[in-house]
Chains A and B, each alone.
Chain A
């Protein structure tokens, strides 16, 4: 079976430049470019959030596509479903803005468009090979990989660090 890719975060590389937030908002705008996006109503919004934990940790927070997705089951209008790629998506036409998904999302990553009275969320950029946040990240703090390949790299990385320490 084709294993779906996930967005992984390496907080030690994140500088909180927020390029990911901007490129996410632009990628989800109608015009698709920054200058056009700035003029649009409703104002395009990012679907991931770079947060700060004192004193010096930056944490990009993005939808985890939960296996037993609470938002999807809690939705009272049947607007949230999982597509063939395993991505949880909100059908804006069916969303009634009751905010039940906001009430149950443990990560706090479901946003609200007040102008349109609809909720919005990360959709993993269905028209792109790599989500806009990941491809725009200048420090590679965000990576888009399968779980297996990401954990393999972490093991390799840890092993090479251990080797380096031994040489010292």
Chain B
């Protein structure tokens, strides 16, 4: 450690941590900012690691500092720095093998780690991945060289991105999904038709309604997967995409309030006025449902991280919360955006769908029809941000409702409607 004190100490060097550091450096350029990152690599854009698997991007090409809004100025980053305990009464944290650092303001931005279901046996074999870190991406790219067939367990977005990276490398890929359809968190099976067609066309083999019992391996690593129906699938690689869990282990024994993740108030402050939390590790709230939620989305983590950064400098800023469901991307040439309440089967929500052969736009209103609560756009995602704004502000939509239903909404309606 260069110094054993920082005005602003940040644990975690990914989205929330670096966004907070940047926001602090903008508001309090004189304050000393130290970021502790447990990974060996300098902070990088985590969602870009599938491109490192395919080789389209090099690790050094996805670094955070110097890209986008990140100047990196005045921010001291320590890699390989793993925090094992926090003492909030003495305002100091202890780093394994590197001593103590004290602080005036502390941010927990430790993120989350892949959940590996304990009921699946043999997940410690080599060739089993959960694509989360740059080191995973490198190892996956290496293993892909000797992989003919890879089995992906879980049909979420992360696993789909990993699957496409492998397809691009010429690996055969089978996706094993327990749910009746892929992307079940982001859309209902009946809404997923266009996506499913695109995935099938892209050459991805999908087995729904199945789960893995165990992973079979020998000294070469993974050789196959045993499924719940007793069948066995030979493969040389397995990717597990079963969601993530917040990284809170280092807080055991501390006085920081935990409820699955780190509990914060609307100003991203923990139950200690010098301590803040943001990103995947923090418990936030959904403005639509009012529920306390945790999300694992880069964009959310940045937004909350910036908010926490402002609060740490004394600029009191309320976090507006985020939707439990929110994501945008393109899989197999099919763009989509899903946000808010999109699971409407057997519900009282007012649902309108307009679909063509290549587009599917579903809008969801509250049961009284007066508020927009969710949208799912596939194929045509035009203007999605306006809808996000409408959902998040929870506003009475009044006269513009007809434009939402008939898909003609534009910003002019907000100004002159």
| Chain A residues near B (Cβ < 8 Å) | 11, 49, 51-53, 57, 59, 61, 68-70, 72-82, 94, 96-100, 102-110, 112, 117
Restricting to B381-403, which residues have a CB under 8 Å from any CB of A? 381-386, 388-389
Residue pair A98, B329 in contact (C-beta under 8 Å): yes
In the bound complex, how far is the Cα of B48 from the Cα of A79, in angstroms?
12
Residue pair A78, B68 in contact (C-beta under 8 Å): yes
Taking the complex as formed, is B67 at the interface, i.e. its CB lies under 8 A from any CB of chain A?
yes
Residue pair A99, B67 in contact (C-beta under 8 Å): no
Residue pair B298, A76 in contact (C-beta under 8 Å): yes
Residue pairs across A and B with Cβ atoms less than 8 A apart, 12 shown, are A57-B416, A70-B303, A72-B68, A76-B45, A77-B48, A77-B62, A78-B62, A103-B299, A106-B386, A107-B386, A108-B385, A108-B411
Taking the complex as formed, is B335 at the interface, i.e. its CB lies under 8 A from any CB of chain A?
yes
Taking the complex as formed, is B69 at the interface, i.e. its CB lies under 8 A from any CB of chain A?
yes
Residue pair A75, B384 in contact (C-beta under 8 Å): no
In the bound complex, how far is the Cα of B330 from the Cα of A51, in angstroms?
27
Chain A residue nearest to B298 in the complex (CB): A76
Q: Which among A72, A79, A81, A103 is the interface contact of B385 at CB below 8 angstroms? A: A103
Residue pair A99, B329 in contact (C-beta under 8 Å): yes
Residue pair A79, B68 in contact (C-beta under 8 Å): yes
For A108, the chain B residues whose CB sits under 8 A away are 382-386, 410-411
In the bound complex, how far is the Cα of B67 from the Cα of A117, in angstroms?
20
Residue pair A102, B330 in contact (C-beta under 8 Å): no
For A49, the chain B residues whose CB sits under 8 A away are 410
| Chain B residues near A (Cβ < 8 Å) | 19, 45, 47-48, 51, 62, 64, 67-70, 298-299, 302-303, 306, 326-330, 335, 337, 339, 381-386, 388-389, 410-413, 415-417
Residue pair A117, B330 in contact (C-beta under 8 Å): yes
Q: Separation in Å of the B186 CB from the closest CB of chain A?
A: 12
**List of 6 A-B pairs having minimum Cβ-Cβ separation, nearest first:** A78-B67, A59-B412, A108-B383, A78-B68, A103-B328, A105-B385
Q: Which among B326, B328, B417 is the interface contact of A99 at CB below 8 angstroms? A: B328
In the bound complex, how far is the Cα of B336 from the Cα of A97, in angstroms?
11
Q: Separation in Å of the B168 CB from the closest CB of chain A?
A: 13
In the bound complex, how far is the Cα of B335 from the Cα of A97, in angstroms?
9
- Would A98 and B330 be within 8 Å (CB), given that A53-B416, A73-B69, A104-B299 are in contact? yes
For A102, the chain B residues whose CB sits under 8 A away are 328, 337, 381-382, 384-385
Q: Separation in Å of the B416 CB from the closest CB of chain A?
A: 4
Q: Separation in Å of the A5 CB from the closest CB of chain B?
A: 21
Q: Which among A53, A96, A104 is the interface contact of B417 at CB below 8 angstroms? A: A53
Chain B residue nearest to A104 in the complex (CB): B385
In the bound complex, how far is the Cα of B184 from the Cα of A57, in angstroms?
42
For B329, the chain A residues whose CB sits under 8 A away are 98-100
Q: Which among B328, B382, B413 is the interface contact of A53 at CB below 8 angstroms? A: B413
In the bound complex, how far is the Cα of B64 from the Cα of A81, in angstroms?
12
Residue pair B382, A99 in contact (C-beta under 8 Å): no
Q: A59-B412, A100-B328 are in contact. List 11 more A-B contacts (CB 8 A).
A: A53-B416, A73-B306, A78-B45, A78-B67, A78-B68, A80-B68, A103-B328, A103-B337, A103-B385, A106-B385, A106-B388
Residue pair B416, A59 in contact (C-beta under 8 Å): yes
Q: Separation in Å of the A164 CB from the closest CB of chain B?
A: 25
For B339, the chain A residues whose CB sits under 8 A away are 103
- Would A76 and B299 be within 8 Å (CB), given that A53-B417, A70-B385, A99-B329 are in contact? yes
For A105, the chain B residues whose CB sits under 8 A away are 385-386
In the bound complex, how far is the Cα of B114 from the Cα of A85, in angstroms?
42
For B69, the chain A residues whose CB sits under 8 A away are 69, 72-73, 80-82
Residue pair B47, A77 in contact (C-beta under 8 Å): yes
Q: Separation in Å of the A115 CB from the closest CB of chain B?
A: 11
Residue pair A77, B302 in contact (C-beta under 8 Å): no
Residue pair B330, A97 in contact (C-beta under 8 Å): yes
Residue pair B302, A74 in contact (C-beta under 8 Å): yes
Q: Separation in Å of the A45 CB from the closest CB of chain B?
A: 12
Q: Which among A79, A100, A117 is the interface contact of B299 at CB below 8 angstroms? A: A100
Q: Separation in Å of the A64 CB from the closest CB of chain B?
A: 10
In the bound complex, how far is the Cα of B382 from the Cα of A138, in angstroms?
29
In the bound complex, how far is the Cα of B381 from the Cα of A47, in angstroms?
16
In the bound complex, how far is the Cα of B382 from the Cα of A110, in angstroms?
9
Residue pair B412, A103 in contact (C-beta under 8 Å): no
